[in-house]
Structure 1
Amino acid sequence: MFQNFPFYLGILVVILLLIMLANKIKVAYPIVLVLAGLGISFIPGVPTITIEPELIFFIFLPPLLYEAAWTVSWKEMWRWRRIITSFAFIVVFLSALSVAVVANYIIPGFSLALGFLLGGIVSPPDAVSAGAILKFVKVPKTISSILEGESLLNDASSLIIFRFAMIAVATEQFIFYKAAVSFSWMIVGGVAIGLLIGWLFMKAHKYLPTDANVDIVLSLLTPYIIYLAAEEVHSSGVLAVVSAGLLLSNNRHHFLSSKSRLQGINVWESFCFILNGLVFMLIGLDLPQITNELEAGVSLGTAIGYGIIITLVLMVSRILSSYGAVVVTLIARNFITVADTRHPGYKTPFILGWTGMRGVVSLAAALSIPVYLDNGNGFPQRNLILFITFIVILLTLVIQGLTLPYFIRKIKLTDIYEPLPHEEVHNSVRKELAVFTLNYLKTTYSDQLETNASLQQLIQKWELHCKGIEDATINKDLKLIYHDLLNQQRQWLIAKNKEDRSLDEVIIRRQMHYLDIEEKLKQFS
């Protein structure tokens, strides 16, 4: 480990440089990192990278899922719950079924159970890839909400398929009632354990004498403890982490201080930034090991051909399933209330279907296949499954990842679902908040209106907000002046700190922190 430490340190530096390059050329960084890792792996003398599945499942997956659950809107998830659950469970199952049938037909010696195993591995789209790509294009909130909600649940559904397929391959039998009981426990147990432990952590944050640092450390421990607890009792660790994340996120203002929330966001963004960068680089670096372990009877060209066919099957099945989900919704609205009665046309299902990039969960699941069965025999087709999984990840990232921004710009979905610009709605809510604030101040503190000068200033401030005169709506020239003013204030504080040797520097740093917060809130940075 320590012998290769300079190499791993260098990889981190390379990841940062590549992400900056990706942002510069406006290409999603997972694509750049996978291709770069692939290129680095062919450099002579580069250490062979072996990815342990436990590293992905336990070190990477819980915090990434937890952070995603904190950023997603529960309100939007509930609003689009039918289509989200359709994509997260039904579409994933149909994708796995399609892969199972095709793999069983085209690959010699590939049983239907092995087909479902492969299908369970490659069926869940990767949320990180889609999120990184959508940063460079404008999509309706509806689309992003559906994709975010789906990404929280599809990992759990695909891993459930994967586990049952593993049992079927190992035992060469499938007992339906046992599978049904196990399936139910994985879902119910996972959700229950996540909610219980999440509730306990929420109470710990609220009633123990914590500060911002302790709150952040507790939040970092939470997903790992929940995932481990759920997996120990053979329920879904993914669903447990997601359930706890949604519970805590929805109640964050009840048990976390404003300081904990502000600092926690920065820590979690940096933490997940590094994890995402590492995992996509490792995917590319691991290719030589996967290629070298291909079965002797399967040529490299043949294995690549299988990977291309499976990739095409996944692309087509997801797009067809997307249109199928719309048809079902249009039929269902005649019998039940649906979230949106407008006809989405052919555009929205295509975009939802094309956001099918695969990533970290697929790789981790493939790597977790044991080398040997319980009877001592080698696991059938293990290395071929690993290779096909890598091809699927690579092709979906490159083909769909590079073309998705083009399709989104070409189709122009914004006008379909967003009649009002986001900024206009934001300003409207701000004005409503200002009206409420004024009414509250004048009603609650009416006896102090004539004598309290500070209260009068506060009321004048919110009266300006009611008229729309606030930092969010000032013109561009005034924003530049305000930005210059903030910089001059910083220079004054720095000079003040140098001149007054008796002044505690902590006070200066505190004032600088306020200026940073103000600049961030005004969106000058």
Structure 2
Amino acid sequence: MHTILPFLLAMVAIIVLLNMWATKLKIAYPILLVIGGLLISFIPGLPVVKIDPNLIFFIFLPPLLYEAAWTISFKEMKKWWRIIGSFAFLVVFFTALSVALVTNYLIPGFTIAIGFLLGGIVSPPDAVSTAAITKFVKIPKSTSAILEGESLLNDASSLIIFRFALVAVGTGQFIWQNAATSFLWMVVGGAGIGLLLGWIFVQVHKYLPTDAPSDTVLTVIEPYFMYWIAEQVHSSGVLAVVSGGLFMSARRLVFLSSTSRIRAFSVWESFIFILNGVVFLIIGLELPEIRDGLRSQGIPLSTAIGYGVLVTGVLIGARIISSYAAMFATLIFRPGVAPAARSNRVRMTMPLLLGWTGMRGVVSLAAALAIPLTLDNGKAFPQRDLILFITFVVILLTLLVQGLTLPGIIKRTGAFGRFMDPKVEEELKLQMKRDLKQHSYQFLKNKYDNELKGHAGMEKLLRHWEEKSKASDDSWMNEQAKTIFIEMLESQRAYLTELNKDPAFDEEIIRHQLYQIDLEEERLRMI
């Protein structure tokens, strides 16, 4: 323990330093993390870090999926559910099938089942990598929502493929009737368990005397409970976490106080950042052992790299083909919902850009590491080292090739120029703030008109909100004024929640303003 602890602390320090360096270079930090993991594998004498494959999913996936469910805009998901659904399920299956057929034909020793296993691992694009890359270039809110929704749901669909392929590799057979029944139970049971547990956790937060620290700790524990309970009844733990997370996210204003929301946000931001970094470094630490496994199987390193390049090409090609198929299907069957474009050239470029956003990341790494070392009969799991190596090559190439070129391609093509008008977004923000200010003023006048008259503190409260003055002396804020002010902030939250139903307002703008209200309430409570 005394030898491994300094090493673990050094890993965290490396993750932080790489993130700082990535910010300075203005590139996505997952790119430097995957390169850092590769370089670490060449350092001699490092301790061997071994994690039970059965624990990989349980340790890393629940919090990653739960956090993604909390940050995504459910409003935008409903708006673009057709394309999100097609990319999250149909495209994932098409990609996994393409990988299975190509690897079965071109890689010696790869059966269809092993090919599907690899396809399930590498088929889901990574939301963290995409978000980290696109923050350096503006893309439409609709495209961002599609990518986030797809990345959340395709993790579930790809990992279901992964589980079925594991069974097929282990047993050597695949019974379609049993698979269909199991698939139905995994989907329905997983989603149902997640919703039920999400409702229970909401009641726990609401009716137990929790405070900000206990609320925050509970939010860390909850995804693990959802995942574990769903897996115990052989349904999808991934879908349980996603559905439960979406349910609780939509009700965050109901069961969490402003203090809990603010503190939990900071804790989760750091927690997820560390988890992402640790997974990349772990695969780097395991690469020497993977290379030794390849040598023992007589697979040259150059050949393994070639297989990784081959699979990467299949993934990119399958995604681009799927993007164009989705566009043509939309234009033929539902032209009314097709996004407008300045020209046919721009229209034809957009699916290419959407197809080019398929960077792979943490979920693929976690899935690859979760492959068991041996089969049920005690024999070594076939092609495990090669699958791990190909997965690492895929992640490295997609992050470097697609990740580094995507911002430049977007800027050069200008395909998203029509949709990115910063003036429109700024006008919406100003309109929201003006309306919110008027709403607050009318709330005070209508409900507390008698209390405001003749009371210096109350009148100053009204002037403060009407004029948005920055008074440095808070001595005027007595308990009565504080109570009214907090009630007014609750009224603002209710107003913004109702405003979020307006399609013109992006949910990200609403959430930003809600966070500002939480900060205002915290400042008020400290007076």
With normalisation by structure 1, the TM-score equals 0.85
Question: 1:183, CA displacement in angstroms?
Answer: 0.5
Please give the residue correspondences for 1:217-228 in structure 2 after superposition, counting only pairs within 5 Å: 217-228=217-228
Question: 1:449, CA displacement in angstroms?
Answer: 5.0
Q: Which residue of 2 aligns with 1:304?
A: 305
Q: Which residue of 2 aligns with 1:332?
A: 333
Of residues 339, 342, 355, the one that matches 2:340 is 342
Q: Which residue of 1 aligns with 2:244?
A: 244
Please give the residue correspondences for 1:66-465 in structure 2 after superposition, counting only pairs within 5 Å: 66-294=66-294, 295-333=296-334, 338=337, 342-343=340-341, 345-419=347-421, 420-448=423-451, 450-464=453-467
1:333-388 residue CA offsets vs partner (Å, 9 max, x unmatched): 15xx74x5535713332222111111222222222223332334333222222221
Distance 1:444 1:98 in 2: 64
Distance 2:276 2:15 in 1: 10
1:104-126 residue CA offsets vs partner (Å, 9 max, x unmatched): 11112322222111111111111
Retained in 2: the 8 A contact 1:49–1:289? no
1:61-94 residue CA offsets vs partner (Å, 9 max, x unmatched): 1111111111111111111111111111111111
Retained in 2: the 8 A contact 1:139–1:413? no
Distance 1:20 1:372 in 2: 40
Give the fraction of aligned pairs with identical amino acids, expressed as a percent: 58
The residue type equivalent to 1:437 in the other structure is S
Structure 2 CA distance for partners of 1:397 and 1:4, relative to 1, 3 Å? same
Structure 2 CA distance for partners of 1:341 and 1:28, relative to 1, 3 Å? closer
Question: 1:8, CA displacement in angstroms?
Answer: 1.9
Question: 1:53, CA displacement in angstroms?
Answer: 2.7
Moved more, 436-445 or 392-401: 436-445
Retained in 1: the 8 A contact 2:215–2:260? yes
Distance 2:339 2:309 in 1: 38
Structure 2 CA distance for partners of 1:450 and 1:369, relative to 1, 3 Å? closer
Partner SS, residue 173 of structure 2: coil
Distance 2:339 2:370 in 1: 43
Cα RMSD between the aligned structures? 2.5
1:134-164 residue CA offsets vs partner (Å, 9 max, x unmatched): 2222221111111111111111101111111
Retained in 2: the 8 A contact 1:104–1:111? yes
Retained in 2: the 8 A contact 1:212–1:260? yes
Distance 1:66 1:351 in 2: 28
The residue type equivalent to 1:436 in the other structure is H
Moved more, 184-193 or 278-287: 278-287
- Length, aligned pairs only: 474
Moved more, 242-251 or 386-395: 386-395
Retained in 1: the 8 A contact 2:63–2:223? yes
Q: Which residue of 1 aligns with 2:502?
A: none
Distance 1:233 1:60 in 2: 20
Question: 1:44, CA displacement in angstroms?
Answer: 2.0
Partner SS, residue 347 of structure 2: coil
Retained in 2: the 8 A contact 1:124–1:158? yes
Question: 1:457, CA displacement in angstroms?
Answer: 3.1
Structure 2, unpaired ranges of 5+ = 475-515
Partner SS, residue 293 of structure 1: helix
Retained in 2: the 8 A contact 1:51–1:286? no
The residue type equivalent to 1:68 in the other structure is A
Retained in 2: the 8 A contact 1:98–1:313? yes
Structure 2 CA distance for partners of 1:414 and 1:452, relative to 1, 3 Å? farther
Moved more, 413-422 or 18-27: 413-422
Distance 2:388 2:446 in 1: 68
Retained in 2: the 8 A contact 1:51–1:282? no
Q: Which residue of 1 aligns with 2:512?
A: none
Distance 1:6 1:346 in 2: 53
Retained in 1: the 8 A contact 2:120–2:158? yes
Distance 1:67 1:304 in 2: 33
1:301-358 residue CA offsets vs partner (Å, 9 max, x unmatched): 1111111111011011111111111222222315xx74x5535713332222111111
Moved more, 108-117 or 309-318: 108-117
Distance 2:373 2:214 in 1: 42
The residue type equivalent to 2:463 in the other structure is Q
Distance 1:259 1:373 in 2: 49
Q: Which residue of 1 aligns with 2:507?
A: none
Structure 2 CA distance for partners of 1:282 and 1:377, relative to 1, 3 Å? closer
Partner SS, residue 110 of structure 1: coil
